Structures are given as structure tokens and as C-alpha cells.
Amino acid sequence: MIHRIYVEHWQMQCCGAPFSVGSTIEWNVHAVADREYLAAVLGEDEAGRVTDAEDHHDVDERPSHLARGVVRSIDAVFCEYAPRTAGSRELFVVPGTGVLEPRETADGWEGREKVGAGRKFIGYLVNVDGAPREREV
């Protein structure tokens, strides 16, 4: 069974271990909390294919489980941010600007030299061939 797992950039940068296509992973995952955000970045169809979100920190009370399997593909996710109103400092995703770029490896550090200067790296979409397992106590 293929799972499409979203891994936020800060999760990898904080304490994630680099991985590659062909690696066996075991991650704590949960249901995607902010599918609206992913839909703004990736579009409804692509966001709808995301089955789980990886989480190193258990930052909320959502039920989680372990996902174990083999990484089949990795896409780095980039998008643009801009203020909604002139003069504002608060930035929001510019809908429809999401770009997926295939990668063989992921370490959480995708530089601007790899994509247009106006885009920001926000995470990875990882296809994992495996089955979710109940969290071991």
C-alpha cells in the first residue's frame, strides 16, 4: 500500500534523519491537520492524495501511528508567499504557486539555488510503500 506523507521542512531541520529513495523509514504520522493549507499550495487534487503528515514532536493530541515502509519517491515542495494587503508584513501562501521537484535524497535543507528565488521550500511529499502500524506501547 502506498502512503503519500507530508514532511514539513522544520520537522526535518530540527531533528529529522536524512533519507533517500529506497530507504526504509519508520515515522510517527497522523492525519493531515491543515489540508486547506496544502490545497492552497498544491491544489485540491494533489492535497487530497496526501494520506498522512510526519511528526517528530507530537505537538497536539491527534491520534498517531507508526508508518514503516520503503521510500519510493520524494518531491520537494516549494511555493510563493506574499502579503494579502499592501504594506502588511504578514505573509500568506500565494494560491497556485506550489511546485514539486523530484529528489533522490532529502535532508530538510533545500536552497534557493535549486529553485526560483521567489519560492520558499516548505517540505517534502514522500511516497512510502508499506502499511501503518499501531503505536507500540
Instruction: Please tell me the predicted confidence (pLDDT) of residue 1.
Output: 85
Q: Which residue has the higher pLDDT, 90 or 75?
A: 75
Instruction: Please tell me the predicted confidence (pLDDT) of residue 21.
Output: 98
| Number of domains the chain is built from | 1
**pLDDT, mean of residues 21-35:** 91
Average pLDDT across the chain, whole number: 86
> 7 falls in which pLDDT band (50, 70, 90)?
very high
Angle of CA points 11, 12, 14, to nearest 5°: 65
Instruction: Return the DSSP state at 10.
Output: H
**pLDDT, mean of residues 87-110:** 91
Distance of CA 35 to the CA centre of its chain: 11
Q: Residue 10: give the domain boundaries.
A: 2-133
Residue with cell 498522512: 52
> 60 falls in which pLDDT band (50, 70, 90)?
low
Checking if the pLDDT of 69 tops 70, the result is yes
Checking if the pLDDT of 136 tops 50, the result is no
Instruction: Please tell me the predicted confidence (pLDDT) of residue 49.
Output: 95
**pLDDT, mean of residues 80-109:** 90
pLDDT tens by residue, 115-132: 555 689 999 999 999 865
E-strand stretches of 16-137: 19-20, 24-30, 52-54, 64-79, 81-83, 91-93, 99-103, 105-106, 120-133
Instruction: Please tell me the predicted confidence (pLDDT) of residue 48.
Output: 95
